[in-house]
């Protein structure tokens, strides 16, 4: 059984932000019933406090590291791309730092969804950018990526 946890921020103000792409993957998994041998959960805390939620879920379901998949946004990957890697996350992500601290390890699956589509020299800082909504054009790209990720997670 795989435990897949999507990271994001709760509340209507964050629903369409780049930081909530983990929530969007979980929504898609549940909507399309991609849940055979999968427990899909969204955190119920803000991104930077994700560790306690993940720790409680891994304990509750007795999930081993090799069965834990954390779905999160990644500024190191361009919009439209994704990577699924064991023990490898972005170099600077406060949600993952919280999880690593709570679990005492970074050895779990990282489902890294690319969100970076910043252009030019006047690029917004990452902390600001992740809390912005996707543009209409970007929504088309990210929705396609989310569908691909869900299909991939179902076959792993």
pLDDT tens per residue across span 102-149:
999 999 999 999 999 988 777 888 889 999 999 999 999 999 999 999
Asked whether the CA dihedral 112, 106, 52, 58 is positive or negative, the reply is positive
- Counting the structural domains of the chain, the total is 1
19 is catalytic: yes
Assess whether pLDDT exceeds 80 at residue 40.
Answer: yes
Distance CA 54, CA 148 (A): 24
Strands 109-116 vs 82-86: parallel, antiparallel or unpaired: antiparallel
pLDDT tens per residue, range 3-30: 999 999 999 999 999 999 999 999 999 9
Catalytically annotated residue among 19, 72, 93, 110: 19
105: closest CA among 76, 68, 130? Answer: 68
Domain that includes residue 137, residue range: 2-155
Burial class (CB in 10 A: 0-12, 13-18, 19+), 20: buried
Model-level pTM greater than 0.85?
A: yes
The C-alpha atoms of residue 49 and residue 56 are separated, in whole angstroms, by 12
Residue 90 has pLDDT above 90, yes or no: no
CATH code for position 27: 3.40.50.1470
């Amino acid at each position: 059984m795989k435990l897949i946890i999507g990271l994001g921020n709760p509340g209507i103000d964050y629903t369409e932000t780049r930081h909530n792409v983990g929530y969007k993957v979980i929504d898609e998994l549940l909507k399309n019933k991609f849940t055979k041998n999968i427990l899909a959960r969204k955190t119920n805390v803000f991104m930077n406090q994700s560790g306690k939620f993940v720790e409680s879920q891994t304990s509750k379901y007795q999930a081993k590291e090799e069965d834990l998949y954390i779905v999160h946004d990644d500024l190191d990957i361009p919009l439209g791309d994704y990577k699924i890697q064991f023990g490898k996350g972005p170099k600077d992500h406060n949600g993952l730092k919280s999880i690593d601290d709570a679990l005492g390890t970074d050895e779990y699956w990282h489902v890294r969804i690319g969100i970076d589509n910043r252009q030019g020299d006047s690029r917004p800082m990452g902390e600001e950018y992740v809390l912005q909504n996707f543009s209409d054009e970007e929504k088309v790209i990210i929705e396609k990526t989310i569908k691909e990720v869900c299909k991939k997670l179902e076959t792993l």
